[in-house]
């Protein structure tokens, strides 16, 4: 059996092998008729009659709901996929089938070609999907009633000028001016897949063409704070808001909040997981799917399935421009972020 995809129908559970980016659909055999012109010579020839493909959501052309990519799909994911497919069917009266891609690379290709129609994507894969015009936005998940988070640039107060007012909780200079002082300085980043501790801050510097020395990757947000504090490894760094308040750090350095300051705070542009549709989904069908999700998330059963599958327990409808600034910074980071899409 291929490990690429598993298929679940809304009427019964069926696991079957299919290709990574090609989901076979039940195909009707072409019918043959006798050509009137051929009978004049006494010889009958067969003429194929074109078969009309069913509309999306009808039998023979189901809507394909992607489960989280995995080399081996868990029984829980299969069960929750069945539940969510059932709920979408109940809300739309359209046929919905759950499929399990092997990887995000396979899923993005499937969304691009119409071999998948609904998917939840984390931040980095969604950038790759947009670069291939493989998706359009439907919903962004929220945490504590917000759909995005920010980050912060940190440095020693005795070496750099802060352009963030902690009392007003806002920046008082635009990034080109505030961050120009980091030109040719050495940054400390966390890890290569960190959005707050590397990709987005590095992307902002890249977007505004502020070159820096080769970075030191110190593995954790708290290690960034420590490295900036000592001033021996790097000149500045970036973390989530506000990594300085970690109790162990405050115990180590009681005056840390005064000595390590926020130079500039990255606005809340970093999204959480989102739900996306394939551009092959017709407009009228997309309207039904979006309306269905808005009802499903209000039910305990639906919210439980969405949380278990995609880590989404609340969400808001969004358009593609919701992700524009985030995509800009990721692609300007200079990182090999595509290597992180597995």
Contacting residues for 320 by C-beta, under 8 A, at least 6 apart: 130, 136, 137
Q: How far is residue 96 CA from its own chain's centroid?
A: 22
How many angstroms separate the CA atoms of 55 and 298, rounded? 29
Using CB atoms within 10 Å of the CB of residue 154, give its burial: 0 to 12 exposed, 13 to 18 middle, 19+ buried: buried
In this structure, are strands 260-271 and 148-156 parallel, antiparallel, or unpaired?
antiparallel
Class of domain 148-269 (CATH, top level): alpha beta
Architecture of the CATH domain 7-25+62-144+272-330 = 3-Layer(aba) Sandwich (3.40)
Helices 324-331/200-207 angle, 10° precision: 80
Quote the DSSP letter at residue 280.
T
pLDDT of residue 167: 95
Both structure tokens of 162: 């802060």
pLDDT of residue 53: 87
Contacting residues for 115 by C-beta, under 8 A, at least 6 apart: 21, 22, 23, 64, 109
pLDDT of residue 253: 87
Report the 10 Å Cβ neighbour count for 318.
Answer: 16
pLDDT of residue 49: 67
pLDDT of residue 299: 97
pLDDT of residue 70: 93
Phi, psi of 234 (to 5 degrees): -155, 170
pLDDT of residue 48: 66
Both structure tokens of 128: 């790759």
Buried b (16+ CB within 10 A) or exposed e, 171-183: beeebeebbebbe
CA atoms within 13 A on the CB side of 314: 7
| Element holding 148 (H helix, E strand) | strand 148-156
Q: Give strand pairing partners of 235.
A: none
Print pLDDT tens along the chain (342 aa). Answer: 334 444 433 333 333 333 333 333 332 333 233 333 444 444 445 556 677 889 999 999 999 999 999 988 999 999 999 999 999 999 999 999 999 999 999 999 999 999 999 999 999 999 999 999 999 999 999 999 999 999 999 999 999 999 999 999 999 999 999 999 999 999 999 999 999 999 999 999 999 999 999 999 999 999 999 999 999 999 999 999 999 999 989 888 889 999 999 999 999 999 999 999 999 999 999 999 999 999 999 999 999 999 999 999 999 999 999 999 999 999 999 999 989 998
Contact of 197 with 236, CB cutoff 8 Å: no
How many angstroms separate the CA atoms of 308 and 81, rounded? 10
Contact of 111 with 243, CB cutoff 8 Å: no
How is the chain split into domains, by residue range?
7-25+62-144+272-330, 148-269
Contacting residues for 142 by C-beta, under 8 A, at least 6 apart: 272, 314, 315, 316
pLDDT of residue 52: 85
Buried b (16+ CB within 10 A) or exposed e, 11-32: eeeeeeebebbebeeeeeeeee
Give the chain's radius of gyration (CA, Å). Answer: 26
Using CB atoms within 10 Å of the CB of residue 133, give its burial: 0 to 12 exposed, 13 to 18 middle, 19+ buried: exposed
Q: For the whole model, what pTM was predicted?
A: 0.86
Q: Give strand pairing partners of 259.
A: none
Contacting residues for 110 by C-beta, under 8 A, at least 6 apart: 20, 21, 23, 64, 66, 99, 101, 116
Contacting residues for 88 by C-beta, under 8 A, at least 6 apart: 63, 65, 94, 96, 289, 292, 293, 296
Site of tokens 């980016």: 21
């Amino acid at each position: 059996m291929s490990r690429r995809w598993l298929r679940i129908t809304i009427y019964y559970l069926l696991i079957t092998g299919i290709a990574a980016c090609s989901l076979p659909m039940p195909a009707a055999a072409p019918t043959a008729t006798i050509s009137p012109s051929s009978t004049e010579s006494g010889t009958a020839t067969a003429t194929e009659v074109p078969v009309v493909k069913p509309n999306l959501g009808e039998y023979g052309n189901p809507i394909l709901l992607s489960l989280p990519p995995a080399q081996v799909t868990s029984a829980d994911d299969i069960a929750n996929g069945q539940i969510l497919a059932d709920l979408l069917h109940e809300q739309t009266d359209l046929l919905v089938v759950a499929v399990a891609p092997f990887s995000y690379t396979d899923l993005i290709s499937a969304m691009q070609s119409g071999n998948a129609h609904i998917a939840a994507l984390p931040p980095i894969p969604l950038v790759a999907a947009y670069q291939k015009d493989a998706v359009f936005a439907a919903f962004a998940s929220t945490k504590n009633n917000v759909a995005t988070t920010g980050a912060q640039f940190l440095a020693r107060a005795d070496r750099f000028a802060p352009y963030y007012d902690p009392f007003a909780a806002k920046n008082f200079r635009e990034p080109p001016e505030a961050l120009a002082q980091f030109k040719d300085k050495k940054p400390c980043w966390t890890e290569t897949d960190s959005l707050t501790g590397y990709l987005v801050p590095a992307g902002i510097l890249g977007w505004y063409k502020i070159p820096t020395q080769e970075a030191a990757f110190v593995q954790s947000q708290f290690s960034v704070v420590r490295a900036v504090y000592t001033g021996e490894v790097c000149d500045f760094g970036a973390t989530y808001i506000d990594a300085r308040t970690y109790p162990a750090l405050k115990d180590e350095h009681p005056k840390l909040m005064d000595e390590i300051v926020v130079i500039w705070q990255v606005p809340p542009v970093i999204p959480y997981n989102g739900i996306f549709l394939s551009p092959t989904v017709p407009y009228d069908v997309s309207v039904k799917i979006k309306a269905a999700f808005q009802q499903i998330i209000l039910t305990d059963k639906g919210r439980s399935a969405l949380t278990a599958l995609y880590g989404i327990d609340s969400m808001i409808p969004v358009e593609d421009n919701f992700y524009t600034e985030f995509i800009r910074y990721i692609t300007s980071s200079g990182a090999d972020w595509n290597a992180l899409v597995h």
